[in-house]
A and B are shown apart, each in its own frame.
Chain A
């Protein structure tokens, strides 16, 4: 473990900025503070690259060992470990810690979070022109608090702390959707809130059960410890909980909690509502980062701590993944609301993540994580693309558009890039993730169902191509329409939001290894090793 304070700065800079926003007098100044703060947070998070700089370490096994350590959780960077709460007294006391750190699993997500949040903050710049423009100060305060919550979730290595950040993120999100959202904002906001809270209280049961089912003296909330301590693992395997086997039950409870966030069919219904009603920047964050928390939770908590239960559930989870892919794609195809289409495409894309995780092979985890990051780039881009034309046309009916590329050439090109990235065109980020998951599923040796499932999942790619190409045709191609002829092309600000995402999408698609895999594969292999050692 390498101690350091950089991560604390990354997590809490937004909080400090939120406090500054509260006392900043003018709306314009508040906006500047917010953008500068998220920008600084992004720059700070770039400083984290020095720990994972493969170009400085070489590529042999020894270099991987140097960077990622010998086993899961043995090499953590920028660790802070402080006792926060002491439970019990005397020798038997155990501690809840403020324990944050970085490994190959959380690092890409932290950078993704700061990156997308910065762009989303830029995307909020025109808040005065929104339909509900009041309370810009409140908006940016909540926005910045949200960033702290999200970063905290990805960095927390103590289960209790993880839970706190997970919940802390809920409140700002509720208000951001509920106050600044579209016509059905109240419904969408409360639905989001209740769904997520219902999931997280199940997590709370697991949190307590993990603690109390560990043998006395080993009780801890440390996620690394729970995954690697043989005594605790043994206890979890053997225990029963109210007559059920402990590990599968806990796995299911956790899974529901995370599945709501991902979202997995049939817990997905909050997502289209929330996405459609949320203002554009919040949709970007929802799709780009919040959905990833579910996948991250599975990879950080469920699978490392309960690998046996993961194997027990693999078949069912893989089916859920397939359902997500196919069902999401079919729903997307049926939408006439542009934003709803993108929302359902998120469900479909997250299906690949679930499938990749469910098969529990190193390649599967790699594919899933790649898809997580790729979707984290492409879906905010798509939502912002939708937002751009919504700002101009004030509606999102796909069938009422047409020929936008002619009117707005720069925007049209970027839009094509973004949607192709989402579609999974080779050379762009979406392709690598989906392809990797399909290959991994097809070649997973331990499951008899792997090959047919891979084939079924592959049809999802075709469906995706179907609805996205059809949408592009209806919106961007075709004859130029009279009512949209006067639309200005994308402004400098819009270009500044879109271009970085486009560049990253290209980079991930062309150099997947250098741009992402090498930063995380070490840790993903260690997680897969946990499955193997479990036997």
Chain B
């Protein structure tokens, strides 16, 4: 307790230590903001500062992961009796995503630094000079959005979730328009703001409905409450959930909340595009899994499992197919990759469908949730590699030629063989062709789907949709490859790419090759172990029992009780206000 203001709860240093990654990131943000005052506007120096902060955050994240692994209590909640649900958690689940986000962030900063070198090279050349001056602001925004995403995966409190999503989104809007002279960027940013505002409004509305219905903002408490109150016909509950889902779908860019994605990805500077395509989706998926997991323990939803799985499955299939179909006729490589990222969000949502399918009755499903989670973890790891590689190569080309149009890739196989080759490998990996990492990712996803289909046979439909989409997606990825290798124009000069960029994209390609061959099995095993850890980590201080007005501890009630009660014509005990 704080001696000065005895009624205010402040977390102790020991509690806060587990949130070191976030705190370090906040400190970095402040440092980046202050630095120009002290050392003048030196963008590259600021970039190094930001990179140092990110790496420190990564180190802290690893250290915290070790501590949490050893059983440290990673929650922030005021002391009370009975214990209140936590506002913020640092469990293995969130730490995995934080690590993931920070690694991606480091890659993005690196990419920006490569681009900065290019910018100095092209200073003064129309179309190619990039705004370097915005360096400090760029990093403030980038790191803040990263902070928001890290918070997104660390809470079950609806209010914190809302704030986290906003923290992630607001800087992103500005990031998209970093290049002030770019009309496309401004337009994209405006579209992003509009979509973001609407989806936030819908989500806030959904959250308010949930709060009104259950009298709490904590999702795990809500999940425990609906055990008493079968939600099958509870319109308010479903509307609230729908609103929450809309917000998440916006972050993941799932259909129909995907419309912002291509324009934003095309208009934004390429570092921002890469960042949004990977991190924003990962954070959204993390949040989705959190929500699913919160409800999965609740047997009351077992009636709703099938329709819910259908809903997620259909959403995933449609997202995947729409993304692929729309990509077929694009001419801008960034746009193609944007639609491709929508399609890949669809594949990852399929893993979400597995988790939904496996919820409800834990005993019947065995390690299904683990399989689904493992598939998702593997997919995310491969996906970040593929996308950083593909966007990185696109950046190298676009910085040199001043455009990311397909035509600027003409003859790249001759003009820049060490950009074209990794680009081709990343694209083939995005298709999901062996022996590349993308195939491994897809394989684990399909195996998990097949396994889940043992319980819900119609999940084979998802398998079919996924593989047919693979064939569909081939066409537009190969269009880029065709442009690089099958067409050539001797008049075009060689593309000189900076060494750092070459190292980056080729490292991604080598990694993908390894993941598809020698590391195929380790990838699956590691993902499986990670999934076991992240998914089954006991969420500390999550209320095991919810005190109920009637005095019956819910744990004493058989799982079937609510349904029986309903069929007997009883009104289930009502919770909340």
A190-B482, A241-B460, A242-B457 as given contacts; A85 in contact with B471, CB under 8 Å: no
- Interchain CA distance A420-B571 in the complex, whole Å: 87
Say yes or no: is B240 at the interface (Cβ < 8 Å to chain A): no
A194-B475, A201-B471 as given contacts; A86 in contact with B524, CB under 8 Å: yes
Say yes or no: is B297 at the interface (Cβ < 8 Å to chain A): no
Say yes or no: is A134 at the interface (Cβ < 8 Å to chain B): yes
The contact of A164 among B434, B447, B454, B464, by CB within 8 Å, is: B434
In contact, B471 and A198 (Cβ under 8 angstroms): yes
Residues of the A chain whose Cβ atoms lie less than 8 Å from the Cβ of B467: 201-202, 204-205
Ranked nearest first, the 4 interchain pairs of A and B with the lowest CB-CB distance are: A201-B467, A85-B521, A198-B471, A208-B450
* 13 pairs from A and B in contact (CB 8 Å cutoff): A84-B521, A86-B524, A89-B528, A134-B414, A135-B413, A190-B478, A194-B474, A201-B471, A205-B460, A208-B463, A209-B460, A211-B450, A242-B458
Residues of the B chain whose Cβ atoms lie less than 8 Å from the Cβ of A89: 525, 528
Say yes or no: is A175 at the interface (Cβ < 8 Å to chain B): yes
- Interchain CA distance A46-B525 in the complex, whole Å: 40
Contact digits for B266-295, partner A, Cβ 8 Å, 1 yes 0 no: 000000000000000000000000000000
In contact, A208 and B446 (Cβ under 8 angstroms): yes
A86-B525, A168-B435, A178-B486 as given contacts; A204 in contact with B446, CB under 8 Å: yes
- Interchain CA distance A387-B273 in the complex, whole Å: 49
In contact, A170 and B451 (Cβ under 8 angstroms): no
- Interchain CA distance A146-B413 in the complex, whole Å: 20
Say yes or no: is A517 at the interface (Cβ < 8 Å to chain B): no
In contact, B520 and A84 (Cβ under 8 angstroms): yes
Which A residues fall within an 8 A CB radius of B? 84-89, 134-135, 163-164, 167-168, 170-171, 174-175, 178-179, 185-186, 189-190, 193-194, 197-198, 201-202, 204-205, 208-209, 211-212, 241-242
Contact digits for B517-540, partner A, Cβ 8 Å, 1 yes 0 no: 000110011001000000000000
How many residues of B sit at the interface, in one of the four size bands?
35 or more
Residues of the A chain whose Cβ atoms lie less than 8 Å from the Cβ of B439: 167
Say yes or no: is B202 at the interface (Cβ < 8 Å to chain A): no
- Interchain CA distance A211-B447 in the complex, whole Å: 9
- Interchain CA distance A211-B482 in the complex, whole Å: 36
Residues of the A chain whose Cβ atoms lie less than 8 Å from the Cβ of B371: 88
In contact, A197 and B474 (Cβ under 8 angstroms): yes
Q: Which of B422-454 contact A (CB under 8 A)?
A: 428, 433-435, 439, 446-447, 449-451, 453-454
A164-B434, A201-B471, A208-B446 as given contacts; A186 in contact with B460, CB under 8 Å: no
Taking A134-B414, A190-B475, A242-B460 as given, write out 16 further A-B residue pairs in contact, using a Cβ cutoff of 8 Å, ordered by the A residue number.
A86-B521, A163-B434, A164-B434, A168-B434, A168-B435, A174-B478, A175-B485, A186-B487, A190-B478, A194-B471, A197-B474, A201-B467, A202-B467, A204-B467, A208-B449, A211-B447
In contact, A87 and B447 (Cβ under 8 angstroms): yes
Kindly provide the distance from the CB of A56 to the nearest chain B CB, expressed in whole angstroms. 39
Say yes or no: is B468 at the interface (Cβ < 8 Å to chain A): yes
Say yes or no: is B503 at the interface (Cβ < 8 Å to chain A): no
Contact digits for B478-503, partner A, Cβ 8 Å, 1 yes 0 no: 10001001110000000000000000
Residues of the A chain whose Cβ atoms lie less than 8 Å from the Cβ of B457: 241-242
- Interchain CA distance A243-B450 in the complex, whole Å: 16
Residues of the B chain whose Cβ atoms lie less than 8 Å from the Cβ of A241: 457, 460
The contact of A85 among B435, B450, B454, B520, by CB within 8 Å, is: B520
In contact, B471 and A189 (Cβ under 8 angstroms): no
Kindly provide the distance from the CB of B56 to the nearest chain A CB, expressed in whole angstroms. 35
- Interchain CA distance A454-B532 in the complex, whole Å: 60
- Interchain CA distance A209-B457 in the complex, whole Å: 11
Residues of the B chain whose Cβ atoms lie less than 8 Å from the Cβ of A85: 520-521, 524
Kindly provide the distance from the CB of A158 to the nearest chain B CB, expressed in whole angstroms. 13
In contact, B485 and A179 (Cβ under 8 angstroms): yes
- Interchain CA distance A198-B464 in the complex, whole Å: 12
Residues of the B chain whose Cβ atoms lie less than 8 Å from the Cβ of A87: 447, 524
A201 nearest in chain B by CB position: B467
Say yes or no: is B1 at the interface (Cβ < 8 Å to chain A): no
- Interchain CA distance A86-B522 in the complex, whole Å: 9
Kindly provide the distance from the CB of A440 to the nearest chain B CB, expressed in whole angstroms. 36
- Interchain CA distance A197-B475 in the complex, whole Å: 10
Say yes or no: is B461 at the interface (Cβ < 8 Å to chain A): yes
Residues of the B chain whose Cβ atoms lie less than 8 Å from the Cβ of A204: 446, 467, 470
The contact of A205 among B428, B464, B521, by CB within 8 Å, is: B464
In contact, A201 and B450 (Cβ under 8 angstroms): no
In contact, A201 and B486 (Cβ under 8 angstroms): no
In contact, A197 and B446 (Cβ under 8 angstroms): no
Residues of the A chain whose Cβ atoms lie less than 8 Å from the Cβ of B434: 163-164, 167-168
- Interchain CA distance A190-B486 in the complex, whole Å: 11
Residues of the A chain whose Cβ atoms lie less than 8 Å from the Cβ of B447: 87, 208, 211
Residues of the B chain whose Cβ atoms lie less than 8 Å from the Cβ of A209: 450, 460
- Interchain CA distance A164-B474 in the complex, whole Å: 17
Kindly provide the distance from the CB of A193 to the nearest chain B CB, expressed in whole angstroms. 6
Residues of the A chain whose Cβ atoms lie less than 8 Å from the Cβ of B454: 212
Kindly provide the distance from the CB of B480 to the nearest chain A CB, expressed in whole angstroms. 12
A216 nearest in chain B by CB position: B454
Q: Which of A89, A168, A190, A204 has most B Cβ within 10 Å? A: A204
- Interchain CA distance A197-B431 in the complex, whole Å: 10
- Interchain CA distance A380-B525 in the complex, whole Å: 45
